[in-house]
Amino acid sequence: MSTSGAPGLARRAFAEFLGTGLLVTVVIGSGIMAVRLSPDVGVQLLANSAATAAALPVIIVLVGPVSGAHLNPMVSLVDWLLGRRNRAGITARCVAVYLPAQMIGGIAGAMLANAMFDLPAVSASTHDRSSPTLWLGEIVATAGLIAVVITLPRQGRAHLAPPIIGAYIGAAYWFTSSTSFANPAVTIARGFTDTFAGIAPASIPGFLAAQLIGAALGTAIATALYPARAATAGPEPAAHPRPVAPEVSDARAV
């Protein structure tokens, strides 16, 4: 997996920790600010989605050259799975390091957002999100995200990942019933804040299951459309780091 001059695993793990933490900070912080500025739920969601869609490309650009900016356990797992045959993705060892870094980073981001707005650093959310319609929304949101993440490099357009992924997440806030978490690390972290963006701990397992189904569906769709990387894509700069991600390119994404 490693190539000459590629960042070490510790530095890549830190990038995933930092990027995921920043993402969660934006999601929760903008939600808190939106509620404080407007009593209208539609305006609150608009502010929350706009802030996330704007910040996500910036975060991807910040940490992408170091770790690939997965920021999402599903992206890391799919990258490892698709890259096993040709060794194009991250290794199992990287997965074992990335996933805890993403989870811990997300929780740290939730604590930071709470603290910035003078709330308890940790407070269990009471926002129930357990219903089949919301789970279906998460399947759709995650499938779309993973499909985009896989498809872009296979089209030779990995350089477009930051704005396109940001745009997808911003839109998915509105067209999915779940408001598009699409990210296990973000989902778990949002259980640590009893605010607009929170999710009750009891609702988290259903969302995680839906995300797993969505990731499998998105992978199947993308690989059916694009069985292999585009021949015209040209060589990538290195096996790691890559502009946004390896076989895939996320980020949250959320």
CA distance 225 to 178: 26
Report which DSSP code applies to 87: T
C-alpha distances in Å from residue 69, one per residue of 23, 58, 60, 184 = 11, 11, 5, 15
Tens of pLDDT along the chain (254 residues) come to: 333 457 899 999 999 999 999 999 999 999 999 999 999 999 999 999 999 999 999 999 999 999 999 999 999 999 999 988 777 889 999 999 999 999 999 999 999 999 999 999 999 999 999 999 999 999 999 999 999 999 999 999 999 999 999 999 999 999 999 999 999 999 999 999 999 999 999 999 999 999 999 999 999 999 999 997 654 433 333 333 343 344 444 444 54
Contacts of 100 (CB under 8 A, 6+ apart): none
pLDDT (0 to 100) of residue 217: 98
Which helix (H) or strand (E) element contains residue 47? helix 41-67
Is residue 16 a contact partner of residue 98, using CB atoms and an 8 Å limit? Answer: yes
Per DSSP, the residues of 146-188 read HHHHHHHHHTT-GGGHHHHHHHHHHHHHHHSTT-----HHHHH
Q: Output the pLDDT for position 49.
A: 98
Dihedral (C-alpha) 156, 158, 163, 169: value to the nearest 10 degrees? Answer: 100
State pTM to two decimals. 0.88
- CATH architecture, domain defined by 9-233: Up-down Bundle (1.20)
* pLDDT on residue 113: 98
pLDDT at 5: 56
pLDDT of residue 4: 42
